[in-house]
Amino acid sequence: MKVLSIQSAVAYGHVGNSAAVFPLQRIGVEVMPVYTVNFSNHTGYGAWRGPLISPDDVREVITGIEERGAFPQIDVVLSGYQGSEGIADVILDAVARIKQANPAAIYACDPVMGNARSGCFVAPAIPVLLRERVVPAADLITPNQFELGYLTGTEPDSLESTLASVDLARVMGPRTVLVTSVERPDREEGTLEMLAVDDRGAWIVTTPQLPMKANGSGDVTAALFTAHYRRTGDAADALARTASSVFDLLTATLESGERELQLVESQEAYAHPRMQFAVRQVR
């Protein structure tokens, strides 16, 4: 499998491509990373250095990949945080050209906007752009519950309302949806859920909720689920593998006492997930 991953990059720590690439490589995926920024560290520190990469320069890198004859071999285009409207245009153009070269290729979009606790942390134009242009072009999306609500104009909080919101999202274009954090009032205390839905059904997995915030964990989640799903077409299996790997990554990070993901130290969790969480079909 070959993935073109258009995301940010940092030298210190792990977010964007700096979070997604290694786990994908560790499960045997060939990744072509294209950077949209090249920062010293993620912006959560409040200070960082390094350049934003202009949309024209991002487009040039992608064109160079095309000139090497790689487009027919690309199975997945993966994108995450989009810092500007111009980057979205570049991504959508790349998706169209790759799908022309390989009609079996899919576009997986992590529609990063924010979360229920922090609200939106992207430029005001980005959520509208994601909803109106980017998500309709995607085959697979990986929103959290907050982002799903914005995309669909709903307020999902129960399992039933989250499933209804997913159905609305799927009408927009993407046939497969992974909701990366389902927080419903009637769930068992101290737990967190992920929900995967495709044409075959809907599945949920429950894991302990760890007392931490880990920048980049969503990028790892989106990358691993996309790769597993593209490889097998089995949403339940992809959900189980992703939940197992990401939980063990987060556990290792919490136990380390470090702020940044223990991405390299946790590599066996990607290559050989313990499959310790049962996946339940809910539809």
pTM for this model (two decimals): 0.96
Q: What CATH architecture is 2-281?
A: 3-Layer(aba) Sandwich (3.40)
Q: Which residues contact 209 (CB under 8 A, 6 or more apart)?
A: 190, 191, 192
Q: Which residues of 169-185 are buried (b: 16+ CB within 10 A; e: fewer)?
A: bbebebebbbbbbbbee
Residue ranges covered by each domain of the chain: 2-281
Separation of alpha carbons 74 and 239, rounded Å: 23
Question: Quick one: pLDDT at residue 185?
Answer: 87
Give per-residue pLDDT as tens, 115-154.
766 666 677 778 889 999 999 999 999 999 999 999 999 9
Q: Which residues contact 13 (CB under 8 A, 6 or more apart)?
A: 41, 42, 215, 216, 259, 260, 261
Best CA proximity match to 121, nearest among 93, 144, 98: 144
Least confident of 74-83, 102-111, 257-266, 267-276: 74-83
Question: Quick one: pLDDT at residue 118?
Answer: 62
Q: In the structure, what pLDDT confidence band is assigned to residue 74 with cuts at 50, 70 and 90?
A: very high
Separation of alpha carbons 214 and 196, rounded Å: 22
Antiparallel, parallel or unpaired: β 140-141 and 106-109: parallel
